[in-house]
Chain A
């Protein structure tokens, strides 16, 4: 199809002034494999009762999957620091929102007077 053959020197391809890191195909396949395994693990751990930690375990596995998608599929591992700070700030403020809401809810006292 394309007239010009592409030199593929171990995932790095040179084209004039653009030197973007190209993640090799094998890495993508590996990451996909790990994501599928982790999905199976997500379903499997629901058969084990960790009590209060059920949600924590599910959330931890989901976060590992999210990190893999961000790092490899979204190329963040090879991206500049600014883009990592941007997405990190989004997650940070989401956690702030969550913490203050939960603190509010669980520390409320009943409005009904005992007297």
Chain B
């Protein structure tokens, strides 16, 4: 047992019948058609509710929700810069802690949220995130991973998958797109000893919302890595975001799991995995890949999935049925 499993002992999750009606991120924002990221943000914030302070990194979710004098936010929301959402939320959480203790305010149950894209999380904001996780603030950090710098025009990040063509890892005569393997941020969060770490995707909304709810109950830092399709950057149809997110899970490219007090739980076992080619097919960012390259990727995906399975201590039978 540990602080997270203690806090989650009597956890009651969401199901299709008890979804909260509250929409902390209101409609009318300026996201692209078919944006998987804003859908993930909406689901996550529905699970959080409005008794929260949200700190945003610079990025798509920041600009589409806050063009002055309009705002999509029904929670207090603060944007400061690109690389520091985790540090900003550390300050907010510390301020509430001190002011509640000193009876300046009486808001002891506020939830502190920070989020950033994959660039803001895995690249430029990695240090601030590491600091916040290590110091143990009672915060939730969401990485909305759309696998490149989409806000600036589809440049590669360290979270861009091997082989993907981006504007700074373009496929060409002498290049097959991104030449490095995707950085595993969830594992990096686990290595910090964060009491709650999970992966999620908006293709499985109940799973995503339950993970967010759990993160909000855990006293201490929680990290959720949310795979967020971007039709604009992935060169797929605007009606294909959810389908691709589902394929990412079904092909073992993006496995769904939780790490509670350092123990791994598989959220969704992939019994009959689909080949990665099926996942690649609707996305033009992968269309240049040769058979040999696809084979190499398939090998590494299988290998990584096996490695993950070895870490799973308990298989959550209930979830498997869901």
Q: Do A and B come from one complex?
A: no
Query: Residues on A close to B: CB < 8 A?
Result: none
B residues at A contact (CB < 8 Å): none
